[in-house]
Structure 1
Amino acid sequence: MLKIEDLHLSFGGIKALQGISFEAQAGEITGVIGPNGAGKTSLFNAISGFYQPDRGRVWFDGRDITGMAPDRRAALGIARTFQNIALFRGMTVLDNIKLGGHTRLKTGLWGALRYFGPAQREELEFRRDIEERVIDFLEIDHIRKVPITALPYGLQKRVELGRALAMRPQVLLLDEPVAGMNREETADMARFILDVQERFGTTILLVEHDMHMVMDICAHIVVLNFGQQIAEGSPQEVSQNPAVIEAYLGAAA
């Protein structure tokens, strides 16, 4: 579903990515791990179109999307969450989630301004879909009219996941979805991620520092360090790889 081929990305003299190549199989959860500064978020930004790589290719479902704009990638079915919460803080939970589905709406500018006939029907149908498929699924019906600023951190992370799901993505990029969460919140988020994979068949690419979670839910793991790919394989293979152990724990350990 997603193929990264010899990806290079630099900022001046800093080489953020150096020859990254791997595949994310359809319907599976692929983990991307590595120490801080390894290039994980830069990789996500290259996949979603925020950064243009210096060299290499990004393939989506057999199609080269390397030069494609971010909005066109989103329309194809690539959604993401962010390391730092990027919700619209002056809006409610429901309005934030609905914004994620704008790429799926067919009504044009003038139809939306008139808000009559087809535009109104499409809006109502879309809202029903959001409430049934996303809000009920994430168990946040009780807060759907609550402003984002009134929610605790863990629930804001869940709302951000909901906004991504509103796009009906084929590929979902999750950038540190449990960062800053307690154990209970982490367990809940891991359950929702697994449910997304199982219920919707979504291909998931996951960046995360919580190694227990990564090893538990990922079928395949890619390891980065200083912009380079140092290992790739199953959770068991990666956990026993000497280069991975050195990158995380140091050569002495």
Structure 2
Amino acid sequence: MIPINEDHAEKPLLEVLDLQLGFGGIRALAGVSFAARRGEITAIIGPNGAGKTSLFNTISGFYKPQQGCVHFEGRDVTRYSAHRRAALGLARTFQNVALFRGMTVLDNIKLGGHTRLHSNPLSAMWYFGSAQREEMALRREIERDVIDFLEIDHIRHLPVAGLSYGLQKRVELARALAMQPKVLMLDEPVAGMNREETEDMARFILDVQEQWGVTVLLIEHDMGLVMDISNHVVVLNFGQVIGQGVPAEVRTNPEVVRAYLGETAAQKVVA
């Protein structure tokens, strides 16, 4: 469990400053700036094609921006590789399930913890000494802190290919939590889920925030979920921030309403 440091409660843990990202003649991000405060849930919303996943890929290090920077814990990590950012505490899930389908639930989750292992290549290759001890300690920690927490003990030895979609998404969340993240980036965690699965996932996300003290960055199209659990909402459209604030402010922002529902709806909000 990662407690919230009260001394830094008012300082942004993650800052995105003027991110510019383009692919040929297409601008995916056009000067995106926002901050995610420590221990809060920040939602990134917007219509399809707004640049949300491109933003996540830039924050996590898969894309390099043409301009702008990403600050994490006061450090400029813009030029850091994806695995180095992961080792610092930036963990993420993906819009489409990205698990190793032939492996068991437990083995998939353990992969997330490998960023924290320090055995030398020789002992790791032959699986003896420090490598074996680290691996066993990681397994005990995952079983105690992650698998029990997400209520998936009954499936831990099953291959993920045979699981329902909702359980696969939960396993992906477990793999990210095994990294002991400081920032957990969730790309559409409830997409394709039924109501019961969505409610379960919402509960787990809130518990990660409240019990583990993890800062959550969330992309989601389920506006009910976003408005219910988010502390701060950032709205993108065509790669630009068109509004941000607490959920109540964003819900009544004419620019946001226009992007989702059209000009007529926006005029009604203003009136």
The two structures have a TM-score, normalised by structure 1, of 0.99
Which AA in structure 2 matches 1:186? T
1:89-134 C-alpha deviation (Å, 9 max, x unpaired): 1100000000011110111211112222222111111100000110
Equivalence map 1:204-243=2 (5 Å): 204-243=216-255
Which runs of structure 1 show a deviation greater than 4 angstroms over 4 or more consecutive aligned residues? none
Match runs of 1:160-171 below 5 Å: 160-171=172-183
Distance in 1 between the 2:246 and 2:125 partners? 51
User: What secondary structure sits across from 1:101 in the alignment?
Assistant: helix
From 1, 22, 32, give the equivalent of 2:34. 22
Q: Work out the CA distance in 2 between the residues paired with 1:34 and 1:118.
A: 47
SS of corresponding position for 1:86: coil
What fraction of aligned residue pairs are identical, expressed as a percent? 70
Gaps of 5+ in 1: none
Query: 1:191-233: per-residue Cα shift (whole Å, max 9, x none)?
Result: 0000001111101100000000000000000000011110010
Partner residue in 2 for 1:156: 168
Aligned residues: 253
In the aligned structure 1, how far is the partner of 2:123 from the partner of 2:75?
A: 32
Q: Secondary structure at the match of 2:29?
A: strand
Question: How far apart, in 2, do the equivalents of 1:180 and 1:85 lie?
Answer: 11
Matches within 5 A, 1:50-61: 50-61=62-73
Task: Give 1:197's match in structure 2, choosing from 175, 190, 209.
Answer: 209
Distance 1:208 1:43 in 2: 13
For residue 124 of structure 2, what is the aligned residue in structure 1? 112
Aligned counterparts of 1:106 and 1:91: Cα–Cα separation in 2: 23
Query: Match of 1:60, as an amino acid?
Result: F
Tell me which residue corresponds to 1:184.
196
2:269 is matched with which residue? none
Distance 2:203 2:131 in 1: 36
Question: What residue in structure 2 maps to residue 130 of structure 1?
Answer: 142
AA of the residue aligned to 1:49: G
The one-character-per-residue Cα deviations of 1:148-194 (angstroms, maximum 9, x if unpaired) are 11100000000000000000000010000000000000000000000
Q: Distance in 1 between matches of 2:221 and 2:209?
A: 20
Q: Alignment partner of 1:100: what SS? A: helix
The aligned residue for residue 91 of structure 1 is 103
Q: Which amino acid aligns with 2:154?
A: H
Report SS of the residue matched to 2:186: strand
Gaps of at least 5 residues in structure 2 are 1-12, 266-271
2:42 is aligned with 1:65? no
The one-letter code of the counterpart of 2:90 is: I
CA RMSD of superposed structures (Å):
0.6
Instruction: Quote the offset at 1:49 in angstroms.
Output: 0.4
Does 2:31 align with 1:32? Answer: no
Deviates more, 1:234-243 or 1:105-114: 105-114
1:252 equivalenced with 2:264 (yes/no): yes
